[in-house]
Amino acid sequence: MHIDCDAFYAAVEELDRPELRDVPMAVGKGVLTTCNYHARKFGCRSGMAGFVAMKLCPQLICLPLNFDKYNAKAKEVRTILATYDPRFESASIDEAYLNITEYCNEHHMDPEEAVSQLRAEVHEKTKITVSAGIAANAKLAKIASNRNKPNGQYRIASDRTTIMEFMRNLPTRKVNGVGRVFERELDAIGIKTCGNIYTHRAYLSKLFGEKAFQFLMQCYLGLGRTKIQPAEEYERKSVGTESTFRELSGKTELREKLRHIAEELEKDLERTQHKGRTLVLKVKLHTFEVLTRQSSPPKAVHLSEDLYKYALPMLTKLEKEIPNMKLRLMGLRVTHIVSIKKGGIDFFGLKSRAAPSRSGTPVPKSESGANSDDGEWEVWPEAEFEEAARQEREDEMNELEALSQEHQQLQEQEENGASLKAPLDRQARKPPSPKIEENLNEKEELWNCPICSLPQPADDKIFNSHIDFCLSRQTIKDVVKSTSSPTPTMQLIPRPQSSSNSMPAKRKRGRPRNDGVALEPQAAKRKPFFS
DNA sequence: GCGGATCAG
DNA sequence: ATGGCTGATCCGC
């Protein structure tokens, strides 16, 4: 199950100040972190800029954050969760995953009962209302907990039919790894819901990569992680700090800033008891373009002097690359970290459950069980997948068959022409003004469509529209239908190769774009989502 | 391994 | 057109 406290910060604040109960209230100042029910009626939302919220709701009361208070309350809640699953997994201050299988068995309760009781108990003892989702895996449970919010619960039965039905109409954005960008890209090829995914399976891996393909298929099938473990057992991978400031330039100022950040990072490393073997410098230019540079010091570092010493060359190099560099953010991070935990060395991965050891203290984890297990993803019998496939085929048999064949052809063709790649020397863009670079392509140039390989006008909007068209089902159907004719068959080229540097390698540079068309074919391979 | 980019909370 | 911060992961090179 997944559990999510309702408007956590706001709820905690209300406990201290009952007079806020019936009035629009929000926590956070510049930006709302949470807001209560009354504020929401005015359209206030967490994550919203404070001034926008005030505009919507002038009588809104904004309170400053008080993390000590929230942490204390979170601890109360967790104490109760532990009695239902001692190995529950905190997902954030106000969210957790529990495996209540054992609890249900031992207490002879069905999941709904148990969760109902848990929620009642939390409410009674902490005065916090929570919403919960009950399902066969973490992904589904998380989605389900949002279904009856606030102060409600929702169960997705664990049989395949129910799960498939649930996913069928579920907007892709509801799934945890799908953000704004991916949602739009999926939408552009006609995928709005998880149920839509299967139909497009033939080219998903080509468009988004193998990982994303696997992820999407798991979305379609409603599969997800089933292993729930204490957050402390996840190994930290990096420690870093960064800060935004008003525009900054000048050698001295930048070095002062770097020095300061190095000192901050040293504190964090001290707190978490880590050293790092790789150092990453991050800057955001006044244009909002973000750059990172990394280096590997001769030894693992954690003292600010060393952090500064080894970061400085990267900064000076950037200064050379970018004349007149103006920054609005600087950050430093170490990766490939090693624990320098003193005392209490647990050679055998034994963990002292005693102290609620805050961050740090990553348990050496029972050995490099890297491969071990990994019930990362719930594994379903091949037969179930096949059954799903069969049912789907009943609906659109012809089309899918055709698609499948087409896909094979594409694969073959692609292998033939797979060697074209635009080197696109990065040095070519010396004056780092992505905007300008983009606008330079208006010449007589043409971009090749990655789908049909036909040259298209070198214009973002037109090109993207064309891609959308090329990827639309109708178009594919047409192509398939006329597949025996001499009509140009589809041909998939790995990357719209542009002989010159006409094709912007990273069009995402500069300000985020807002034109409705979002599909970026060449930037297509990437995908978040946790293992 | 490096650098860019997305996502979550 | 929402802001900033921290951390993780993916992808192409």
Residue A360: per-residue pLDDT: 33
Amino acid at A259: R
Question: Which of the residues of A are catalytic?
Answer: 95
Query: Can you give the distance from the CA of residue A59 to the C1' of nucleotide C9 in angstroms?
Result: 42
Tokens encoding A255: 């070095």
The better pLDDT of the pair A476, A64 is held by: A64
CA distance A272 to A265: 10
Instruction: Report the phi/psi class of residue A171: left, alpha or beta, with left for phi > 0 and alpha for psi in -120 to 50.
Output: beta
C-beta separation of A129 from A123 below 8 A: yes
Q: Would the Cβ of A294 be found within 7 angstroms of any atom in strand B?
A: yes
Q: Would the Cβ of A180 be found within 7 angstroms of any atom in strand B?
A: yes
Q: Tens digit of pLDDT for each residue in A105-137?
A: 999 999 999 999 999 999 999 999 999 999 999
What Å distances lie between residue A307 and A249, A291, A300, CA to CA? 21, 18, 10
Residue A453: per-residue pLDDT: 54
C-beta separation of A85 from A132 below 8 A: no
Query: Can you give the distance from the CA of residue A246 to the C1' of nucleotide C3 in angstroms?
Result: 14
CA distance A448 to A283: 34
Most confident of A14-28, A435-449, A471-485: A14-28
- Average model confidence (pLDDT) across chain A: 74
Instruction: Pick out the nucleotide with least CA–C1' distance to A525.
Output: C11
Q: What is the mean pLDDT of residues A32-53?
A: 85
Lowest mean pLDDT segment, chosen from A15-19, A306-310, A451-455, A487-491: A487-491
Residue A31: per-residue pLDDT: 82
Amino acid at A415: E
Which residues are within 8 A (CB) of A502 and not within 5 positions of it... i.e. 6 or more apart?
A441, A443, A445, A447, A458
Q: Tens digit of pLDDT for each residue in A451-466?
A: 555 555 555 545 555 5
Q: Tens digit of pLDDT for each residue in A311-366?
A: 999 999 999 999 899 999 999 999 999 999 775 444 444 333 333 333 333 333 33
Q: What is the mean pLDDT of residues A409-422?
A: 35
Residue A100: per-residue pLDDT: 97
**Residue A392, pLDDT above cutoff 60:** no
Q: What is the mean pLDDT of residues A395-410?
A: 39
C-beta separation of A10 from A26 below 8 A: yes
Q: Would the Cβ of A238 be found within 7 angstroms of any atom in strand B?
A: no
Alpha helix stretches (DSSP H) within A368-445: 382-416, 434-439
Residue A45: per-residue pLDDT: 83
Q: Would the Cβ of A528 be found within 7 angstroms of any atom in strand B?
A: yes
Q: Would the Cβ of A290 be found within 7 angstroms of any atom in strand B?
A: yes
Tokens encoding A85: 């699953």
Per the document, the length of chain A is 531
**Residue A521, pLDDT above cutoff 60:** no
User: Which residues in window 443-502 of A are less than 7 A from strand B by Cβ?
Assistant: none
Query: Can you give the distance from the CA of residue A94 to the C1' of nucleotide C11 in angstroms?
Result: 32
Query: Can you give the distance from the CA of residue A143 to the C1' of nucleotide C6 in angstroms?
Result: 24
Q: DSSP string of A288-327?
A: --EEEEEE--SS-B-SHHHHHHHHHHHHHHHHHHSTT--E
Environment class of A2 (CB within 10 Å of its CB; exposed 0-12, middle 13-18, buried 19+):
buried
Residue A186: per-residue pLDDT: 95
Q: Tens digit of pLDDT for each residue in A218-230?
A: 999 999 999 999 9
Name the residue closest to B3, CA to C1'. A292
Task: Give chain A's largest Cα–Cα span.
Answer: 76
**Residue A208, pLDDT above cutoff 60:** yes
Edge-to-edge strand list for the sheet holding A327-339: A238-248, A327-339, A274-285, A290-295
Query: Can you give the distance from the CA of residue A242 to the C1' of nucleotide C6 in angstroms?
Result: 9
Q: Could you say which nucleotides of strand C lie within 7 A of any protein CB atom?
A: 1-13
Name the residue closest to C12, CA to C1'. A525
Q: Is A167 helix (H, G, I), strand (E, B) or coil?
A: helix
CA distance A514 to A530: 27
What Å distances lie between residue A96 and A77, A205, A216, A500, CA to CA? 10, 32, 24, 51
Name the residue closest to B9, CA to C1'. A92
Q: DSSP string of A346-369?
A: -TT-----SS---S------SS-T
Query: Can you give the distance from the CA of residue A174 to the C1' of nucleotide B8 in angstroms?
Result: 13
Query: Can you give the distance from the CA of residue A410 to the C1' of nucleotide B2 in angstroms?
Result: 32
The confidence band for A497, taking pLDDT boundaries of 50, 70 and 90, is very low
Residue A482: per-residue pLDDT: 34
Strand-pairing partners, residue A130, are A5
Name the residue closest to C9, CA to C1'. A528
**Residue A155, pLDDT above cutoff 90:** yes
Residue A401: per-residue pLDDT: 38
Tokens encoding A417: 């022409």
Q: Could you say which nucleotides of strand B lie within 7 A of any protein CB atom?
A: 1-9
Residue percentage of chain A with pLDDT more than 90: 53
Query: Can you give the distance from the CA of residue A508 to the C1' of nucleotide C13 in angstroms?
Result: 18
Name the residue closest to C1, CA to C1'. A514
Q: Would the Cβ of A303 be found within 7 angstroms of any atom in strand B?
A: no
User: Which residues in window 26-65 of A are less than 7 A from strand B by Cβ?
Assistant: none
Query: Can you give the distance from the CA of residue A211 to the C1' of nucleotide C7 in angstroms?
Result: 20
Name the residue closest to C7, CA to C1'. A238
Residue A450: per-residue pLDDT: 52
Q: Tens digit of pLDDT for each residue in A498-517?
A: 333 333 322 222 222 233 33
Instruction: Pick out the nucleotide with least CA–C1' distance to A214.
Output: C10
Lowest mean pLDDT segment, chosen from A50-59, A190-199, A347-356: A347-356
Residue A479: per-residue pLDDT: 36
Residue A336: per-residue pLDDT: 95
Tokens encoding A521: 């074919």
**Residue A428, pLDDT above cutoff 90:** no
C-beta separation of A133 from A140 below 8 A: yes
Q: Would the Cβ of A178 be found within 7 angstroms of any atom in strand B?
A: yes
Which residues are within 8 A (CB) of A96 and not within 5 positions of it... i.e. 6 or more apart?
A2, A3, A78, A81, A88, A89, A90
Say how many C-beta atoms besides its own lie within 10 A of residue A208's C-beta.
20
Instruction: Pick out the nucleotide with least CA–C1' distance to A30.
Output: C3
Q: What is the CA radius of gyration of chain A?
A: 27
**Residue A469, pLDDT above cutoff 90:** no
Lowest mean pLDDT segment, chosen from A18-32, A64-78, A237-251, A406-420: A406-420
**Residue A191, pLDDT above cutoff 60:** yes
Residue A41: per-residue pLDDT: 85
Name the residue closest to B4, CA to C1'. A291
